[in-house]
Amino acid sequence: MTIDAFIDALPKVELHVHLIGSASAATVLELSRRHPGSGVPTTEGELRRFYTFRDFPHFAEVYGAVNALVREPRDVATLVVGLARDLASQGARYAEVQVTPYAHHVVGMPMREVTEALDLAARRSQAECGVEMAYIFDIPGEYGEQAARITVEHALQEPPAALVGFGIGGIEQERRKYRDAYRSAFSAARAAGLHSVPHAGEMTGPETIWEVIEGYGAERIGHGITCLADPRLVAHLRETQLPLDVCPTSNLCTGQVARMEDHPLPRMLEEGLYVTLNSDDPPMFATTLAEEYRLAAKVFGLGTRELARLARNGVQASYLAEERKQALVAEIDALVAAG
């Protein structure tokens, strides 16, 4: 079996993908033409140029512009089902989708209608695509106390049936201004049984990773690639096997690494850290979940057993039911044995 055939056949889960960032070019163009004057291009060539990011703040600006195109509950459902269809074509069986309720709140969508759209979309994704969808509600970290309050209220008062986690994203440097509000929001979410899955260590150093471990009770961390600068943190992550959801192409496109060859993923694996492989905002970064596996093989030299380990890590780090985890791990092991 060739490496490409192995990757195609490998059962996968996607643990770090944003709903808005998953919108295909066709969907974004449809929405931008529906809402002229939004600032988002209406032709494919212009959209490709629009998705050329100078740095993370520029990416956040573009992401916000695309987000503003999602104005009705049916748009939310369309995005979820479109993502499920894309993932199914890549051999993915399950995804935990990052949803930002505050973004829907500011354009006037009621909590209940957003939740109904997410519930409908999860059912359709399973029935039509065979992909189980779960949700993580995340706070946009640069928007402060109101964003934290709206996000946790939605999570506790009107949660979708498949809500499993609570997170925070956005520009990490802005978080320290609202530290107490974010800690309080995570405390309330965790008390309600939601898993803590914040972003950290993407565009700031190890101190942000320590903050989410100690202040947010992180059970899994989005990115975490700057951990290697702190030997004590590396030792802690190795000992606890706290999962890190790594997204290599995203890090390159937003300027967190200068060249893909410089990405810390190989060293993270060498250090014995618990790594999962993910796509983050795939159409914006011209990638897919399967393409991230191909990149790991071609650029980092990972073989089938190492790729299977990443897939197995994703399953085990997910919030799938235990019997589903066991079944997927058995499929992965059978593929390795057959190859």
- Could you report the per-residue pLDDT of 113-147, keeping only the tens digit for each? 999 999 999 999 999 999 999 999 999 999 999 99
* Active-site residue, from 142, 202, 211, 292: 202
Whole-number average pLDDT of the chain: 94
* Cβ 201 vs Cβ 224: under 8 Å: yes
Catalytic residue check, 158: no
The Cα 251–Cα 338 span in angstroms is 34
26 falls in which pLDDT band (50, 70, 90)? Answer: confident
105 falls in which pLDDT band (50, 70, 90)? Answer: very high
Phi, psi at residue 15, to the nearest 5°?
Answer: -105, -10
Tokens of 88: 């199914």
Residue 82 backbone class (left: φ over 0; alpha: ψ -120 to 50; beta: rest): alpha
The Cα 188–Cα 82 span in angstroms is 32
47 falls in which pLDDT band (50, 70, 90)? Answer: confident
Task: Look at 69-73, 150-154, 232-236 and tell me which has the smallest mean pLDDT.
Answer: 69-73
Q: Name the one residue in this structure whose structure tokens are 């996000």.
A: 151
* Cβ 289 vs Cβ 282: under 8 Å: yes
The Cα 268–Cα 265 span in angstroms is 5
Residue 339 pLDDT: 75
50 falls in which pLDDT band (50, 70, 90)? Answer: confident
Q: Decide which of 154 and 35 is more confident.
A: 154
Q: What is the DSSP letter of 280?
A: B
User: Which distant-in-sequence residues (6+ apart) come within 8 Å of 271 by Cβ?
Assistant: 228, 234, 238
Q: Decide which of 271 and 53 is more confident.
A: 271
Averaged over 292-310, what is the pLDDT?
97
Averaged over 227-231, what is the pLDDT?
98
Averaged over 66-71, what is the pLDDT?
83
* Cβ 189 vs Cβ 156: under 8 Å: yes
202 falls in which pLDDT band (50, 70, 90)? Answer: very high
Strand blocks (E) in the chain: 12-18, 92-99, 132-140, 163-169, 195-196, 199-200, 221-223, 244-246, 275-277
What whole-number percentage of the chain has pLDDT above 70? 100
Considering the four listed CATH numbers 3.20.20.140, 3.40.30.10, 3.40.50.1980, 1.10.290.10, the one that applies to the domain covering 3-338 is 3.20.20.140
* Cβ 328 vs Cβ 308: under 8 Å: no
